[in-house]
Structure 1
Protein backbone atom coordinates (compact mmCIF):
# COMPACT_ATOMS: atom_id res chain seq x y z
CA UNK A 1 0.00 0.00 0.00
CA UNK A 2 1.18 3.54 -0.78
CA UNK A 3 2.28 5.19 2.47
CA UNK A 4 2.18 8.92 3.16
CA UNK A 5 5.98 8.95 3.49
CA UNK A 6 6.51 7.33 0.09
CA UNK A 7 3.91 9.67 -1.43
CA UNK A 8 5.72 12.74 -0.07
CA UNK A 9 9.06 11.44 -1.38
CA UNK A 10 7.82 10.88 -4.94
CA UNK A 11 9.11 13.03 -7.81
CA UNK A 12 6.75 15.94 -8.54
CA UNK A 13 5.51 14.43 -11.82
CA UNK A 14 4.60 11.12 -10.17
CA UNK A 15 2.94 12.94 -7.27
CA UNK A 16 0.82 14.97 -9.68
CA UNK A 17 -0.27 11.80 -11.49
CA UNK A 18 -1.36 10.05 -8.29
CA UNK A 19 -3.00 13.24 -7.04
CA UNK A 20 -5.06 13.32 -10.25
CA UNK A 21 -6.23 9.77 -9.59
CA UNK A 22 -7.21 10.60 -6.01
CA UNK A 23 -8.90 13.83 -7.16
CA UNK A 24 -10.76 11.82 -9.78
CA UNK A 25 -12.16 9.53 -7.09
CA UNK A 26 -13.48 12.53 -5.14
CA UNK A 27 -14.81 14.10 -8.34
CA UNK A 28 -16.66 10.91 -9.27
CA UNK A 29 -18.24 10.74 -5.83
CA UNK A 30 -19.09 14.45 -5.66
CA UNK A 31 -20.62 14.72 -9.13
CA UNK A 32 -22.54 11.48 -8.62
CA UNK A 33 -24.04 12.42 -5.26
CA UNK A 34 -24.01 16.16 -4.63
CA UNK A 35 -23.18 18.52 -7.51
CA UNK A 36 -24.26 18.86 -11.13
CA UNK A 37 -21.72 20.79 -13.22
CA UNK A 38 -23.49 24.16 -13.69
CA UNK A 39 -23.19 24.85 -17.40
CA UNK A 40 -25.07 24.10 -20.61
CA UNK A 41 -28.53 22.71 -19.88
CA UNK A 42 -27.68 22.66 -16.15
CA UNK A 43 -26.55 26.30 -16.00
CA UNK A 44 -27.70 28.18 -12.91
CA UNK A 45 -27.08 31.45 -11.08
CA UNK A 46 -24.54 31.77 -8.30
CA UNK A 47 -21.41 30.46 -10.04
CA UNK A 48 -19.97 33.78 -11.17
CA UNK A 49 -20.25 35.96 -14.24
CA UNK A 50 -21.18 34.25 -17.48
CA UNK A 51 -18.72 34.13 -20.38
CA UNK A 52 -19.16 33.63 -24.10
CA UNK A 53 -19.03 29.86 -24.75
CA UNK A 54 -16.55 30.14 -27.63
CA UNK A 55 -14.11 32.15 -25.52
CA UNK A 56 -14.64 29.84 -22.54
CA UNK A 57 -13.82 26.69 -24.51
CA UNK A 58 -10.67 28.29 -25.91
CA UNK A 59 -9.45 29.51 -22.53
CA UNK A 60 -10.12 26.26 -20.69
CA UNK A 61 -8.72 23.84 -23.30
CA UNK A 62 -5.76 25.74 -24.81
CA UNK A 63 -3.40 25.25 -21.80
CA UNK A 64 -2.89 21.70 -23.11
CA UNK A 65 -1.39 23.10 -26.32
CA UNK A 66 0.65 25.68 -24.41
CA UNK A 67 2.23 22.90 -22.35
CA UNK A 68 3.14 20.90 -25.46
CA UNK A 69 4.87 23.97 -26.90
CA UNK A 70 6.61 24.74 -23.60
CA UNK A 71 8.10 21.26 -23.18
CA UNK A 72 9.09 21.04 -26.83
CA UNK A 73 10.99 24.33 -26.63
CA UNK A 74 12.45 23.38 -23.23
CA UNK A 75 13.88 20.09 -24.47
CA UNK A 76 14.41 20.62 -28.21
CA UNK A 77 14.70 24.41 -28.50
CA UNK A 78 14.79 25.71 -32.05
CA UNK A 79 16.75 22.70 -33.29
CA UNK A 80 13.91 21.36 -35.39
CA UNK A 81 14.55 17.90 -33.97
CA UNK A 82 11.66 15.61 -33.14
CA UNK A 83 11.10 13.09 -30.34
CA UNK A 84 11.10 9.35 -31.19
CA UNK A 85 8.42 8.21 -33.63
CA UNK A 86 6.19 6.65 -30.97
CA UNK A 87 6.33 9.83 -28.89
CA UNK A 88 5.38 11.84 -31.98
CA UNK A 89 2.35 9.67 -32.70
CA UNK A 90 1.14 9.96 -29.10
CA UNK A 91 1.66 13.74 -29.29
CA UNK A 92 -0.41 13.84 -32.48
CA UNK A 93 -3.17 11.95 -30.67
CA UNK A 94 -3.06 14.24 -27.65
CA UNK A 95 -2.42 17.51 -29.47
CA UNK A 96 -4.90 16.73 -32.23
CA UNK A 97 -7.70 16.28 -29.73
CA UNK A 98 -6.96 19.64 -28.15
CA UNK A 99 -6.51 21.47 -31.43
CA UNK A 100 -10.05 20.36 -32.13
CA UNK A 101 -11.29 21.18 -28.63
CA UNK A 102 -9.67 24.60 -28.22
CA UNK A 103 -9.62 25.97 -31.78
CA UNK A 104 -12.04 24.14 -34.09
CA UNK A 105 -14.90 23.07 -31.81
CA UNK A 106 -15.45 26.54 -30.24
CA UNK A 107 -15.72 28.22 -33.64
CA UNK A 108 -18.44 25.77 -34.64
CA UNK A 109 -20.65 26.27 -31.58
CA UNK A 110 -24.18 27.38 -32.46
CA UNK A 111 -26.38 29.17 -29.96
CA UNK A 112 -24.28 27.91 -27.06
CA UNK A 113 -25.22 28.88 -23.53
CA UNK A 114 -22.84 31.11 -21.60
CA UNK A 115 -20.50 29.45 -19.11
CA UNK A 116 -19.88 30.54 -15.50
CA UNK A 117 -16.36 31.89 -15.03
CA UNK A 118 -15.81 29.51 -12.10
CA UNK A 119 -16.40 26.50 -14.35
CA UNK A 120 -14.04 27.89 -16.99
CA UNK A 121 -11.30 28.61 -14.43
CA UNK A 122 -11.59 25.16 -12.85
CA UNK A 123 -11.34 23.54 -16.28
CA UNK A 124 -8.37 25.74 -17.25
CA UNK A 125 -6.59 24.72 -14.03
CA UNK A 126 -7.18 21.05 -14.81
CA UNK A 127 -5.99 21.51 -18.40
CA UNK A 128 -2.78 23.13 -17.16
CA UNK A 129 -2.24 20.30 -14.69
CA UNK A 130 -3.00 17.55 -17.18
CA UNK A 131 -1.11 19.32 -19.96
CA UNK A 132 1.95 19.46 -17.73
CA UNK A 133 2.01 15.76 -16.86
CA UNK A 134 1.18 14.51 -20.37
CA UNK A 135 3.63 16.84 -22.13
CA UNK A 136 6.40 16.17 -19.63
CA UNK A 137 5.91 12.44 -20.13
CA UNK A 138 6.01 12.58 -23.93
CA UNK A 139 8.60 15.32 -24.40
CA UNK A 140 10.95 14.75 -21.48
CA UNK A 141 10.58 11.62 -19.37
CA UNK A 142 9.73 8.84 -21.84
CA UNK A 143 11.80 7.92 -24.90
CA UNK A 144 9.86 5.10 -26.54
CA UNK A 145 11.91 2.73 -28.68
CA UNK A 146 10.92 1.96 -32.28
CA UNK A 147 9.92 -1.55 -31.22
CA UNK A 148 6.95 -0.08 -29.34
CA UNK A 149 5.35 0.90 -32.66
CA UNK A 150 4.74 -2.74 -33.57
CA UNK A 151 3.78 -3.88 -30.07
CA UNK A 152 0.31 -5.27 -29.42
CA UNK A 153 -0.23 -2.72 -26.66
CA UNK A 154 0.52 0.27 -28.87
CA UNK A 155 -1.50 -0.99 -31.84
CA UNK A 156 -4.49 -1.89 -29.65
CA UNK A 157 -4.36 1.43 -27.81
CA UNK A 158 -4.10 3.36 -31.06
CA UNK A 159 -7.14 1.59 -32.54
CA UNK A 160 -9.14 2.26 -29.37
CA UNK A 161 -8.07 5.93 -29.34
CA UNK A 162 -8.95 6.52 -32.99
CA UNK A 163 -12.31 4.79 -32.48
CA UNK A 164 -13.03 7.00 -29.47
CA UNK A 165 -12.01 10.14 -31.33
CA UNK A 166 -14.32 9.23 -34.22
CA UNK A 167 -17.23 8.60 -31.82
CA UNK A 168 -16.55 11.86 -29.98
CA UNK A 169 -16.27 13.93 -33.16
CA UNK A 170 -19.36 12.40 -34.78
CA UNK A 171 -21.38 12.89 -31.59
CA UNK A 172 -20.35 16.55 -31.45
CA UNK A 173 -21.52 16.95 -35.04
CA UNK A 174 -24.87 15.33 -34.25
CA UNK A 175 -25.40 17.69 -31.31
CA UNK A 176 -24.24 20.71 -33.30
CA UNK A 177 -26.71 20.03 -36.10
CA UNK A 178 -29.72 19.35 -33.88
CA UNK A 179 -30.80 22.97 -34.11
CA UNK A 180 -30.98 25.02 -37.27
CA UNK A 181 -29.59 28.58 -37.13
CA UNK A 182 -31.86 30.71 -34.98
CA UNK A 183 -33.63 27.78 -33.32
CA UNK A 184 -33.68 27.42 -29.55
CA UNK A 185 -34.60 24.62 -27.20
CA UNK A 186 -33.41 21.04 -26.94
CA UNK A 187 -34.06 18.02 -29.14
CA UNK A 188 -33.32 14.31 -28.86
CA UNK A 189 -30.10 13.35 -30.70
CA UNK A 190 -30.13 10.26 -32.92
CA UNK A 191 -27.51 8.27 -34.78
CA UNK A 192 -24.08 6.83 -34.06
CA UNK A 193 -23.37 6.28 -30.38
CA UNK A 194 -26.65 7.99 -29.50
CA UNK A 195 -28.40 4.78 -30.47
CA UNK A 196 -27.04 3.29 -27.25
CA UNK A 197 -26.30 6.17 -24.87
CA UNK A 198 -27.59 9.62 -24.03
CA UNK A 199 -24.11 11.14 -24.17
CA UNK A 200 -22.24 9.80 -27.16
CA UNK A 201 -19.71 12.61 -26.91
CA UNK A 202 -18.77 11.65 -23.34
CA UNK A 203 -18.62 7.96 -24.24
CA UNK A 204 -16.29 8.72 -27.14
CA UNK A 205 -13.99 10.79 -24.95
CA UNK A 206 -13.77 8.05 -22.32
CA UNK A 207 -12.88 5.51 -25.03
CA UNK A 208 -10.31 7.92 -26.50
CA UNK A 209 -8.30 8.33 -23.34
CA UNK A 210 -8.51 4.67 -22.36
CA UNK A 211 -6.91 4.00 -25.74
CA UNK A 212 -4.28 6.67 -25.10
CA UNK A 213 -3.47 5.14 -21.71
CA UNK A 214 -3.07 1.69 -23.27
CA UNK A 215 -0.91 2.97 -26.13
CA UNK A 216 1.35 5.06 -23.88
CA UNK A 217 1.56 2.54 -21.04
CA UNK A 218 2.23 5.48 -18.73
CA UNK A 219 1.00 6.47 -15.28
CA UNK A 220 0.12 9.90 -16.64
CA UNK A 221 -2.04 8.35 -19.36
CA UNK A 222 -3.81 6.12 -16.83
CA UNK A 223 -4.44 9.11 -14.54
CA UNK A 224 -5.92 11.08 -17.44
CA UNK A 225 -8.17 8.21 -18.51
CA UNK A 226 -9.48 7.70 -14.99
CA UNK A 227 -10.13 11.40 -14.40
CA UNK A 228 -11.91 11.68 -17.75
CA UNK A 229 -14.25 8.88 -16.71
CA UNK A 230 -14.71 10.38 -13.23
CA UNK A 231 -15.60 13.77 -14.66
CA UNK A 232 -17.77 12.82 -17.62
CA UNK A 233 -19.65 9.70 -16.46
CA UNK A 234 -21.64 11.39 -13.66
CA UNK A 235 -22.29 14.41 -15.88
CA UNK A 236 -23.61 12.00 -18.48
CA UNK A 237 -25.88 10.46 -15.85
CA UNK A 238 -27.23 13.95 -15.09
CA UNK A 239 -27.86 14.55 -18.79
CA UNK A 240 -29.64 11.19 -19.03
CA UNK A 241 -31.92 12.04 -16.11
CA UNK A 242 -32.62 15.43 -17.70
CA UNK A 243 -33.63 13.80 -21.00
CA UNK A 244 -35.95 11.39 -19.17
CA UNK A 245 -37.58 14.24 -17.25
CA UNK A 246 -38.01 16.48 -20.29
CA UNK A 247 -39.11 13.93 -22.90
CA UNK A 248 -40.58 11.33 -20.53
CA UNK A 249 -41.97 8.17 -22.17
CA UNK A 250 -40.77 9.14 -25.63
CA UNK A 251 -37.21 9.03 -24.37
CA UNK A 252 -37.61 6.08 -22.04
CA UNK A 253 -38.80 3.97 -24.97
CA UNK A 254 -35.42 4.44 -26.67
CA UNK A 255 -33.82 2.20 -24.03
CA UNK A 256 -30.55 4.13 -23.90
CA UNK A 257 -27.95 3.94 -21.17
CA UNK A 258 -26.48 7.18 -19.85
CA UNK A 259 -22.81 6.99 -20.88
CA UNK A 260 -21.56 3.39 -21.12
CA UNK A 261 -23.67 1.17 -23.42
CA UNK A 262 -25.68 -1.45 -21.48
CA UNK A 263 -23.79 -0.66 -18.24
CA UNK A 264 -24.35 2.93 -17.01
Structure 2
Protein backbone atom coordinates (compact mmCIF):
# COMPACT_ATOMS: atom_id res chain seq x y z
CA UNK A 1 0.00 0.00 0.00
CA UNK A 2 2.88 2.35 0.72
CA UNK A 3 4.36 1.58 -2.70
CA UNK A 4 0.99 2.12 -4.34
CA UNK A 5 0.74 5.41 -2.47
CA UNK A 6 3.96 6.65 -4.05
CA UNK A 7 2.69 5.64 -7.51
CA UNK A 8 -0.65 7.35 -6.87
CA UNK A 9 1.03 10.52 -5.62
CA UNK A 10 3.28 10.68 -8.67
CA UNK A 11 0.45 9.92 -11.11
CA UNK A 12 -2.01 12.45 -9.71
CA UNK A 13 0.66 15.10 -9.35
CA UNK A 14 2.29 14.75 -12.75
CA UNK A 15 0.14 12.85 -15.23
CA UNK A 16 -3.60 12.71 -14.60
CA UNK A 17 -6.40 14.50 -12.76
CA UNK A 18 -9.00 12.21 -11.19
CA UNK A 19 -11.85 12.47 -13.76
CA UNK A 20 -14.94 13.08 -11.69
CA UNK A 21 -16.89 15.96 -10.19
CA UNK A 22 -15.70 19.28 -11.61
CA UNK A 23 -12.93 17.43 -13.48
CA UNK A 24 -15.27 14.90 -15.07
CA UNK A 25 -14.51 13.97 -18.69
CA UNK A 26 -15.49 11.37 -21.26
CA UNK A 27 -13.47 8.28 -22.03
CA UNK A 28 -13.46 6.71 -18.56
CA UNK A 29 -16.37 4.30 -18.98
CA UNK A 30 -20.07 4.47 -18.31
CA UNK A 31 -21.28 7.00 -15.76
CA UNK A 32 -22.78 5.83 -12.47
CA UNK A 33 -25.28 7.59 -10.21
CA UNK A 34 -23.15 9.28 -7.50
CA UNK A 35 -25.24 7.97 -4.58
CA UNK A 36 -24.97 4.40 -5.83
CA UNK A 37 -21.27 4.82 -6.62
CA UNK A 38 -20.39 6.08 -3.12
CA UNK A 39 -22.41 3.31 -1.49
CA UNK A 40 -20.85 0.52 -3.54
CA UNK A 41 -17.25 1.68 -3.42
CA UNK A 42 -17.10 2.53 0.30
CA UNK A 43 -19.14 -0.30 1.85
CA UNK A 44 -16.40 -3.01 1.60
CA UNK A 45 -14.81 -1.39 4.64
CA UNK A 46 -17.89 -2.21 6.71
CA UNK A 47 -18.19 -5.68 5.19
CA UNK A 48 -14.59 -6.42 6.22
CA UNK A 49 -15.22 -5.31 9.80
CA UNK A 50 -18.39 -7.43 10.01
CA UNK A 51 -16.63 -10.45 8.51
CA UNK A 52 -13.65 -10.42 10.87
CA UNK A 53 -15.83 -9.78 13.90
CA UNK A 54 -18.06 -12.72 12.95
CA UNK A 55 -15.01 -14.89 12.27
CA UNK A 56 -13.24 -14.27 15.58
CA UNK A 57 -15.91 -13.35 18.15
CA UNK A 58 -19.23 -14.61 19.39
CA UNK A 59 -22.11 -12.13 19.44
CA UNK A 60 -21.63 -9.70 22.32
CA UNK A 61 -17.96 -10.46 22.92
CA UNK A 62 -15.39 -7.75 22.29
CA UNK A 63 -11.67 -7.38 21.63
CA UNK A 64 -9.51 -5.27 24.00
CA UNK A 65 -10.64 -1.70 24.67
CA UNK A 66 -8.06 0.00 22.43
CA UNK A 67 -9.05 -2.28 19.54
CA UNK A 68 -12.70 -1.37 20.13
CA UNK A 69 -11.93 2.36 20.00
CA UNK A 70 -9.99 2.02 16.76
CA UNK A 71 -12.71 -0.12 15.18
CA UNK A 72 -15.26 2.47 16.32
CA UNK A 73 -13.22 5.20 14.60
CA UNK A 74 -12.77 3.19 11.42
CA UNK A 75 -16.33 1.87 11.11
CA UNK A 76 -17.81 5.20 12.21
CA UNK A 77 -16.10 7.04 9.38
CA UNK A 78 -17.33 4.53 6.81
CA UNK A 79 -20.86 4.38 8.16
CA UNK A 80 -20.96 8.09 7.43
CA UNK A 81 -19.14 7.83 4.10
CA UNK A 82 -20.97 4.82 2.65
CA UNK A 83 -24.46 5.09 4.17
CA UNK A 84 -25.15 8.66 5.35
CA UNK A 85 -23.09 10.84 3.00
CA UNK A 86 -24.46 9.35 -0.27
CA UNK A 87 -28.07 9.79 0.82
CA UNK A 88 -27.44 13.49 1.48
CA UNK A 89 -25.87 14.28 -1.88
CA UNK A 90 -27.80 17.05 -3.60
CA UNK A 91 -27.67 16.47 -7.33
CA UNK A 92 -24.05 15.63 -7.99
CA UNK A 93 -22.37 14.65 -11.21
CA UNK A 94 -22.26 11.01 -12.20
CA UNK A 95 -19.02 9.14 -11.56
CA UNK A 96 -17.09 7.19 -14.23
CA UNK A 97 -17.23 3.48 -13.50
CA UNK A 98 -13.44 3.25 -13.73
CA UNK A 99 -13.10 5.69 -10.83
CA UNK A 100 -15.73 3.81 -8.84
CA UNK A 101 -14.04 0.44 -9.47
CA UNK A 102 -10.62 1.82 -8.50
CA UNK A 103 -12.06 3.06 -5.21
CA UNK A 104 -13.92 -0.23 -4.72
CA UNK A 105 -10.67 -2.17 -5.12
CA UNK A 106 -8.82 0.08 -2.69
CA UNK A 107 -11.57 -0.01 -0.04
CA UNK A 108 -11.74 -3.80 -0.28
CA UNK A 109 -7.97 -4.05 0.09
CA UNK A 110 -7.70 -1.53 2.91
CA UNK A 111 -10.78 -2.85 4.69
CA UNK A 112 -9.21 -6.33 4.73
CA UNK A 113 -5.93 -4.98 6.12
CA UNK A 114 -7.41 -2.76 8.85
CA UNK A 115 -10.11 -5.19 9.98
CA UNK A 116 -7.80 -8.21 10.04
CA UNK A 117 -5.22 -6.24 12.03
CA UNK A 118 -7.68 -4.94 14.62
CA UNK A 119 -9.92 -8.01 14.93
CA UNK A 120 -7.53 -10.92 14.40
CA UNK A 121 -3.81 -10.23 14.23
CA UNK A 122 -3.11 -7.71 16.99
CA UNK A 123 -4.65 -7.34 20.43
CA UNK A 124 -3.52 -4.20 22.24
CA UNK A 125 -2.64 -4.31 25.92
CA UNK A 126 -4.98 -2.66 28.44
CA UNK A 127 -2.37 0.03 29.12
CA UNK A 128 -2.56 1.20 25.48
CA UNK A 129 -5.85 3.00 26.11
CA UNK A 130 -4.29 5.40 28.62
CA UNK A 131 -1.00 5.94 26.79
CA UNK A 132 -0.09 9.44 25.62
CA UNK A 133 0.29 8.23 22.02
CA UNK A 134 -3.17 6.66 21.93
CA UNK A 135 -4.86 9.67 23.52
CA UNK A 136 -3.07 12.12 21.20
CA UNK A 137 -3.90 10.05 18.11
CA UNK A 138 -7.54 9.72 19.16
CA UNK A 139 -7.89 13.47 19.68
CA UNK A 140 -6.33 14.13 16.26
CA UNK A 141 -8.74 11.64 14.69
CA UNK A 142 -11.77 13.31 16.28
CA UNK A 143 -10.51 16.72 15.12
CA UNK A 144 -10.04 15.42 11.57
CA UNK A 145 -13.45 13.78 11.49
CA UNK A 146 -15.05 17.03 12.68
CA UNK A 147 -13.23 19.02 9.99
CA UNK A 148 -14.19 16.51 7.32
CA UNK A 149 -17.86 16.37 8.35
CA UNK A 150 -18.20 20.15 8.65
CA UNK A 151 -16.52 20.66 5.28
CA UNK A 152 -18.98 18.24 3.67
CA UNK A 153 -21.82 20.24 5.19
CA UNK A 154 -20.42 23.51 3.83
CA UNK A 155 -20.10 22.06 0.33
CA UNK A 156 -23.53 20.45 0.47
CA UNK A 157 -25.21 23.73 1.35
CA UNK A 158 -23.38 26.02 -1.09
CA UNK A 159 -26.30 26.19 -3.51
CA UNK A 160 -29.81 27.28 -2.68
CA UNK A 161 -32.68 25.19 -4.11
CA UNK A 162 -32.81 25.62 -7.88
CA UNK A 163 -29.32 27.09 -8.18
CA UNK A 164 -26.65 25.57 -10.41
CA UNK A 165 -22.97 26.22 -10.97
CA UNK A 166 -20.05 26.40 -8.56
CA UNK A 167 -19.53 28.76 -5.65
CA UNK A 168 -16.61 29.50 -3.34
CA UNK A 169 -16.95 27.69 0.01
CA UNK A 170 -16.31 29.68 3.20
CA UNK A 171 -15.96 28.93 6.89
CA UNK A 172 -14.25 26.25 8.93
CA UNK A 173 -11.18 24.77 7.28
CA UNK A 174 -12.05 26.62 4.07
CA UNK A 175 -10.62 29.74 5.66
CA UNK A 176 -7.19 28.18 5.15
CA UNK A 177 -7.47 25.67 2.30
CA UNK A 178 -9.47 25.09 -0.86
CA UNK A 179 -10.31 21.52 0.14
CA UNK A 180 -11.28 21.36 3.79
CA UNK A 181 -12.82 17.92 3.30
CA UNK A 182 -9.55 16.45 2.02
CA UNK A 183 -7.60 18.15 4.80
CA UNK A 184 -9.98 16.64 7.35
CA UNK A 185 -9.46 13.13 5.97
CA UNK A 186 -5.69 13.52 6.08
CA UNK A 187 -5.89 14.66 9.73
CA UNK A 188 -8.32 11.83 10.57
CA UNK A 189 -6.18 9.00 9.35
CA UNK A 190 -2.97 10.54 10.63
CA UNK A 191 -4.58 10.46 14.08
CA UNK A 192 -5.69 6.87 13.52
CA UNK A 193 -2.15 5.90 12.54
CA UNK A 194 -0.67 7.54 15.63
CA UNK A 195 -3.23 5.90 17.93
CA UNK A 196 -2.80 2.44 16.38
CA UNK A 197 0.99 2.81 16.06
CA UNK A 198 0.85 0.14 13.39
CA UNK A 199 2.18 -0.39 9.90
CA UNK A 200 -1.40 -0.86 8.56
CA UNK A 201 -2.37 2.46 10.13
CA UNK A 202 0.62 4.37 8.79
CA UNK A 203 0.19 2.82 5.34
CA UNK A 204 -3.45 3.91 5.28
CA UNK A 205 -2.58 7.45 6.38
CA UNK A 206 0.13 7.75 3.74
CA UNK A 207 -2.13 6.48 0.97
CA UNK A 208 -4.86 8.90 2.07
CA UNK A 209 -2.41 11.78 1.71
CA UNK A 210 -1.14 10.47 -1.64
CA UNK A 211 -4.67 10.23 -3.01
CA UNK A 212 -6.27 13.40 -1.62
CA UNK A 213 -3.46 15.98 -1.57
CA UNK A 214 -2.89 16.01 -5.36
CA UNK A 215 -6.65 16.13 -5.93
CA UNK A 216 -6.77 19.07 -3.56
CA UNK A 217 -4.09 20.79 -5.61
CA UNK A 218 -6.16 20.22 -8.78
CA UNK A 219 -9.25 21.65 -7.10
CA UNK A 220 -7.23 24.66 -5.90
CA UNK A 221 -5.99 25.41 -9.40
CA UNK A 222 -9.53 25.02 -10.73
CA UNK A 223 -10.77 27.64 -8.26
CA UNK A 224 -7.96 30.00 -9.28
CA UNK A 225 -8.73 29.52 -12.97
CA UNK A 226 -12.48 30.03 -12.51
CA UNK A 227 -12.58 32.86 -9.99
CA UNK A 228 -9.21 34.53 -10.69
CA UNK A 229 -8.11 37.37 -8.42
CA UNK A 230 -11.29 37.11 -6.33
CA UNK A 231 -10.11 33.71 -5.19
CA UNK A 232 -6.40 34.43 -5.11
CA UNK A 233 -6.82 37.26 -2.59
CA UNK A 234 -8.31 34.79 -0.09
CA UNK A 235 -4.75 33.51 0.40
CA UNK A 236 -5.70 29.86 0.77
CA UNK A 237 -3.43 26.89 0.23
CA UNK A 238 -4.71 23.82 -1.59
CA UNK A 239 -5.09 21.19 1.11
CA UNK A 240 -2.52 21.64 3.92
CA UNK A 241 -2.84 25.02 5.72
CA UNK A 242 0.16 27.34 5.18
CA UNK A 243 2.11 24.54 3.39
CA UNK A 244 0.51 23.15 0.18
The answer, yes or no, to whether TM exceeds 0.5 is: yes
CA RMSD of aligned residues (A): 0.6
Q: Distance in 2 between matches of 1:179 and 1:227?
A: 32
Q: Distance in 2 between matches of 1:80 and 1:159?
A: 27
How many Å apart are 1:79 and its aligned residue?
A: 3.7
Q: 1:110 aligns with which of 90, 97, 107?
A: 90
Asked if residue 203 in structure 1 is aligned to residue 177 in structure 2, the reply is no
Q: Which residue in 1 is equivalent to 2:145?
A: 165
2:228 is paired with a residue whose SS is helix
Q: Which residue in 1 is equivalent to 2:129?
A: 149
How many Å apart are 1:232 and its aligned residue?
A: 0.2
Asked if residue 64 in structure 1 is aligned to residue 40 in structure 2, the reply is no
2:160 is paired with a residue whose SS is coil
TM alignment of 1:70-149, pairs within 5 A: 70-76=51-57, 78-149=58-129
Report the TM-score when normalising by structure 2: 0.99
Q: Which residue in 2 is equivalent to 1:13?
A: none
What stretches of structure 1 of length at least 5 have no aligned partner? 1-19
Asked if residue 254 in structure 1 is aligned to residue 237 in structure 2, the reply is no
Q: Distance in 1 between matches of 2:59 and 2:180?
A: 42
What stretches of structure 2 of length at least 5 have no aligned partner? none
- CA deviations 1:213-241 (Å, max 9, x no partner) are 00001100000000000000000000000
- CA deviations 1:29-74 (Å, max 9, x no partner) are 0100000000000000000000100000000100000000010111
How many Å apart are 1:182 and its aligned residue?
A: 2.4
The number of residue pairs the alignment matches comes to 244
How many Å apart are 1:172 and its aligned residue?
A: 0.3
Q: Distance in 2 between matches of 1:79 and 1:261?
A: 44
Q: Distance in 1 between matches of 2:139 and 2:238?
A: 24
- CA deviations 1:126-154 (Å, max 9, x no partner) are 00000000000100011111100110000
Q: Which residue in 2 is equivalent to 1:7?
A: none
2:39 is paired with a residue whose SS is helix
Q: Distance in 2 between matches of 1:106 and 1:229?
A: 22
Report the TM-score when normalising by structure 1: 0.92
